[in-house]
Amino acid sequence: MISVYFPRLKKYTLCGFVVLLAACGSSSRQGPIDGVKVGNSSNLKDMVPASQLEASATRQYNSMKQKASQKNALAPDNHPQVIRLRAIAKKILPHAYAWNPESQAWKWEVNLFISDEVNAFCMPGGKIAFYIGIIEKLKLNDDEVATVMGHEIAHALREHARDRIAKAQLSNLGASVLSSALGLGNIGGQALGQGLQILGLSFSRADERDADLVGMDIAARAGYDPRAGISLWQKMGQLSKEKQPEWLSTHPTGDSRIYEIQKNINEALFLYARAKNTTVDKLPNYKP
């Protein structure tokens, strides 16, 4: 249960709500000054306590692991793909902290679930999950796995879940304040309290673009080829012609994703080349 308490809520005016919205909507600088150019993150998320959200995410993640384990659907630590995923995460994570310094204290986990679903996610607090379906059906190489992992980690680093929940709460608050100002009473009620299911939480197109770019940045710094984002989305596009994967149900796809990657590829290639101790002009052609 995530809730935010505003004292003397009934005394807020509509003007006061607008001031609150403007203050919460301001942005703050995050991330390194070099590399892929990404917009600032919103301070709106500060309405939602990070500690509560991360605790809720941990409970859901642990429950998911427990249920999977009971069905023999949680891959053991010695599973080759678990070893592979954790090795990739070990290379990526040191480059993630610049995007969110508090993430260095998170209790990061990487687990693999035995399911045909084409899916992966990273919950608030660094709880990463891959479904074996996304690896096997798309035949992902390490660069493509790093692209998926970077994207999902970026959602957690940029705290998109906090932002989405805050917007929902603020929207409910706005309706309450407006109705009070108009003398209509507390239409809808319970504006600030809500049950929270982080799994399945959908992000906006802006969030997805943000995660694409931040994920590409941190994966490239870790030595993974950012051109893998193009081959990944080409594979996704081909698979979606047969049946839309679960991962795509909340992720916009199509040429626009590839376009954004290509538009920012030069900055990412510079980071990748630097990680490989070479220059962009000496990089070999990418082969998926």
β pairing state of 120-123 and 27-28: unpaired
List residues with catalytic annotation. 152
Contacts (Cβ under 8 Å, ≥6 apart) of 185: 179
For residue 224, give both structure tokens.
């993974």
For residue 162, give both structure tokens.
């906090």
Of 6, 16, 5, the residue nearest 178 (C-alpha): 16
Name the packing angle between helices 142-157 and 228-242 (round to 10°).
90
Contacts (Cβ under 8 Å, ≥6 apart) of 243: none
- Residue 37's CB: how many other CB atoms inside 10 A? 11
Of 254, 223, 180, 214, the residue nearest 14 (C-alpha): 180
